[in-house]
Amino acid sequence: MVFCIKVSLSLPKTYLCQHYFTYINSMAQPNNPLHGVKLADMLNYLQDYYGWEGLAAHININCFKSNPSIKSSLKFLRRTDWARTKVEELYLKTIKR
């Protein structure tokens, strides 16, 4: 379905397009609680909440145990689907509390 709307606002065209696509994307995934949440934001939240030792206790991943850092953990999580899934699940459990 295509909508053609004539808009006579003083807003820039890029502003209107950006918010239109944000609206369309939010309609595409209304039941996804992780939609729009970046992996870096999830990891920073979990690290602040649990600390590195707590994260290592909840998720048995070496990037949380030996010389942990946000940068190295993000690199590993972006390449390893099973580890990213565990981090996403822990994030969802944590924000529900």
Domain 39-96 annotated CATH 1.10.720.30: yes
Cα(45)–Cα(13) distance, integer angstroms: 35
Predicted confidence band of residue 15 (pLDDT cuts 50, 70, 90): very low
33: helix, strand or coil: coil
What average pLDDT does range 48-53 have in this prediction? Answer: 96
pTM of the model: 0.69
Predicted confidence (pLDDT) per residue in 18-48, tens digit: 545 455 555 667 788 888 899 999 999 999 9
Note the pLDDT of residue 20.
Answer: 52
Predicted confidence band of residue 78 (pLDDT cuts 50, 70, 90): very high
DSSP conformation class of 35: T
